[in-house]
Amino acid sequence: MELRDKIAGALYGMALGDAMGMPAELWGRERARKFFGGKITEFIDGPKENDVAFNYNKAQFTDDTGQAMVLLDSLKTTDYRPDASDIAKRMLEWAEKENAFENNILGPTSKVALANFRDGVDASAITNKALSNGSSMRIAPIGCLFTPDQRKELIDYVYGVSKATHTSDVTIAGAAMIAEGGASAIVNDDFEQVLSDILSVEEAGYEKGCETFSPRLAERVKIGVQIAKEDADDEDAFSKKIYDVIGAGVGIIESVPAAVSIAYYTQDPNKCCLMCANLGGDTDTIGAMATAICGAFVGYSKINPEYTELLRVQNPETDFEEYINILEKGRELLGCGR
């Protein structure tokens, strides 16, 4: 399959999972189902009752995809050399433009880290202890820059683009796993290999960041995959067990394993975005990560065109083609175009 189609699949997949999951963001599973009268089956406006989602209309992506675009804008300007100061400056400009501080859009770690950057305060005391998923929620497009065998380069790069807000072991490992998932999905047609590649970067990712105490990401992914195999013919049972056992919160130890498990289960961005939207918890972030990997796996051409058209219409300030160009050029430089 054409490389550009796979890169576009990753980018549009991220926006799709993000926007589809937005209305139920940070609501419990049962509350969401009662409010929406069952499952979410299409793009809908963010409810005014949702403290975060009320900021968005249907098919608008949230801070997950918005911050991913900020990363790519920075890399284009710095000739693809991660610059934490430039990223932080652009993140802060984006946050102020989106009224992200006032509208409760930013995640807990990013909010404090960016405020510290704005005020000229060293944020390392916060970033070194981070346990939230801000590093992983925006990282999926970075995987498009590398081939899956470039593990060290990918992990170093993930650290470089994440350290403005996240420098702990679990947040670097989690972000590296999502990025590696995208890198592998672009070139492999067997999801078992994608899973193997995702797990292969976990240990080195932990070694790159500052030590925290939490469960291991890979162990939780393995549990999620086992659940996927046990409930291969029962989507609702699988989804509920992921919610109950793996977790679907903003902690990276829950959301990354949940995303990888759902991507493994669905292997299809059109199915993945809906399963994530109806999961409960951090639905937009889990959707962004999982659906990006699925989009990279099957390519843009396999995503429902009604979805991609509405994403373009509802996010008019985003030139998706330009960001795909940025990723293609970066892959030429960093991944040798392979």
The answer to the question of whether 212 is labelled as a binding residue is: no
Q: How far is the first Cα of the chain from the last one, in angstroms, to the nearest whole number?
A: 13
Is 284 labelled a binding residue?
Answer: yes
236 membership: H or E segment, kind and range: helix 235-241
For residue 305, give both structure tokens: 């065109």
CB-CB contact of 109 with 127 (8 Å): yes
> Does 109 belong to an annotated binding site?
no
Does 156 appear as a known binding residue?
A: no
Adjacent-strand bridge partners of 27: 281
Give bridge partners of residue 251 from the DSSP assignment: 132
Cα separation, 320 vs 145, whole angstroms: 16
- Contact by Cβ (8 Å): 92, 111: no
Does 282 count as an annotated binding residue?
yes
Contact 288, 64 (CB under 8 A): yes
Q: Side-chain half-sphere of 174: how many Cα atoms within 13 Å?
A: 35
Opening angle at CA 15, ends 33 and 143, nearest 5:
125
The 10 Å Cβ neighbour count of residue 301 is 13
CA–CA dist 77, 330 (Å, integer) = 12
The amino acid occupying position 325 is N
Query: SS3 for 132?
Result: strand
Binding-site positions read 62-64, 282, 284-285
Binding-site positions for Mg(2+) read 62-64, 282, 284-285
